[in-house]
Amino acid sequence: MEIALLPHAFLIFVFLWFCMIMYAVHVLCLKPKILRAKLRKQGVDGPVPSFVLGNIPEIQKIKSKVSAEDASTYNLNRPLSLDCRSILLPHISQWTKQFGKTFTFALGKVQILYIGDGELVREMSLCKSLDLGKPSYLQKDRGPLLGKGILTTSKEVWAHHRKSIAPTLYMDKVKNMYSIVLESGDTLVKSWEKLVVTNGGTADIRVDNYVKEFTSSIFSNVMFGRYDVATKGLFSKCRNLMEASGSPTVLDGRPFYRFFPTKRNREQWRLEKEIYESILKIAKNCSIGESKSMIQTLVESSKHGELGSSTPQQFIADNCKELCIVAMDVPGITGIWGLMLLALHPEWQARARAEVLQVCGGQIPDAEKLGKLRVLKMIIQEILRLYPGVGFTVREALADVQIGNKVCVPKGVNTWIWPIALHRDPELWGPDALKFNPERFSNGVAGACKIPQAYIPFGLGPRTCPGMNLGMMELKVMFSLILANFSFSLSPNYHHVPKFDVLLEPKYGVKLVVRKL
């Protein structure tokens, strides 16, 4: 009887293998070809991808051609260039020249529509469809880092996340956080004063950790209601996870690579588990006898609403972990780049300082006086133009989505917008697009850019960053306090090498020569 069953079992085995092969062929070959064909019919072309890996081999080949001589231009021995596009992602620069500002390419089986055209970005910013959601690979390939929080979810699940988090960061709530921001800024100033005095009136300071400590303290108090050993340990683990993960938006593209027990993956899995446990432990302690903090809002929101496939515990942990990236490190890195730019342009440093001293009269700035710092606002807008916090603004078409009258994005195609390139486009910003010129914002964004919607340091459309108001307040307070107390210039030890990893950071940090006023 067993022998009689063998042919039947063998046929089932062969059939299953046939189905798996056909599925692989469809996913890796047929579906990508169909999607690219739909885009080509609309006049969108791009480099021809290889089987399985897409354009990854070509990207690696292009990167290998970026010589050490080109990379070495980022130091003080030569004129410092603010144009980092061809160094960070040379394949994007090459394909833009070859195929125009909008083109398609593939990372593995993922089909990407790169959008660098300002008109198309404007249409995307006006598109309110929830079918333009977040790419599925953010939860899969970048799952250990990002999870299933507000940055990665779509449709009704995202709407619940947004309704839970955004109200805690409305302007009226942000104004109540002013004392927290000011206290953190005062701590930064005192730290620098101590260094300057210790070094005889002038100190060569690497500012990175001081600025990140400033933003970490603010975020911790807003999220947890305190800043202590437990939260510092959590932040350290989150930064270690970011280092282990690489960029959250630049997809690796190698099929099934996230399942391999490589050293990097094992490190991500370990940190993910530790962070999950740490957040839930802190959340439990925060719920006892403390004033309401953001994590308590997440705890309450986890008990109702659309959570998708997440458990209440995952809802809390993933949102907290994601906010650690955007609310803690993004303003800090923006502040670091801003100090570099002000050190590089002493005329703007002096102009901003004069405004701060005039408006504040040598006193600690209050919220009302911050609103009058017009020059400082222009400077921050220009910093965000040249060094926006996010790497890419990414979306995935969850159904066929019509973007104005320009293009129909087929279901399954991912769209990428690179703010670093968009914000340096001379057609949008004029012939001085590669220069630091805050004056361009003297009449607001509408007067600075040919297409105002192409200025996207906080994202675009319905998914703009809910923490925008808090981030702007942090930067205004930090710069106003530093300018009122110190003058600074670039250190001879500073090397200008932008590094695009999780976020766009200075590879060797920013070092300044700081003097007390």
Please tell me the predicted confidence (pLDDT) of residue 25: 64
pLDDT-above-70 percentage for the chain: 91
Rg (CA), the chain: 25
Query: Can you tell me the distance from the alpha carbon of 129 to that of 149, in angstroms, rounded to the nearest whole number?
Result: 19
Q: pLDDT of 63-72, one tens digit each? A: 887 754 454 4
Of 516, 514, 474, 508, give the one whose Cα is nearest residue 178: 474
pLDDT at 4 over 80: no
Contact of 128 with 461, CB cutoff 8 Å: yes
Of 511, 480, 491, 486, give the one whose Cα is nearest residue 193: 486
Calculate helix-pair angle for 330-344, 374-386, nearest 10 degrees: 110
Query: Can you tell me the distance from the alpha carbon of 363 to that of 374, in angstroms, rounded to the nearest whole number?
Result: 18
Chain mean pLDDT for the chain: 87
Contact of 6 with 14, CB cutoff 8 Å: no
The DSSP secondary structure of 184-251, one letter per residue, reads: HHHHHHHHHHHHHHHTTTEEEEE-HHHHHHHHHHHHHHHHHS--SHHHHHHHHHHHHHHHHH--SSS-
List strand residue ranges (DSSP E) for 242-338, in order: none
Q: pLDDT of 218-266, one tens digit each? A: 999 999 988 888 888 988 998 888 888 875 455 666 666 777 788 888 8
Q: What are the residue ranges spanned by the domains of the chain?
A: 42-516
Please tell me the predicted confidence (pLDDT) of residue 28: 64
pLDDT at 23 over 80: no
Of 48, 168, 44, give the one whose Cα is nearest residue 117: 44
Say how many residues make up the chain: 517
Q: pLDDT of 355-412, one tens digit each? A: 999 998 878 888 888 889 999 999 999 999 999 977 889 999 999 999 988 899 999 9
Fold of 42-516: Cytochrome p450 (1.10.630)
Mean pLDDT on 149-155: 91
Query: Can you tell me the distance from the alpha carbon of 254 to that of 147, in angstroms, rounded to the nearest whole number?
Result: 20
- The predicted model scores a pTM of 0.90
pLDDT at 354 over 90: yes
Query: Can you tell me the distance from the alpha carbon of 161 to that of 321, in angstroms, rounded to the nearest whole number?
Result: 14
Please tell me the predicted confidence (pLDDT) of residue 253: 60
Least trusted range by pLDDT, from 1-10, 287-296, 405-414:
1-10
Mean pLDDT on 444-453: 95
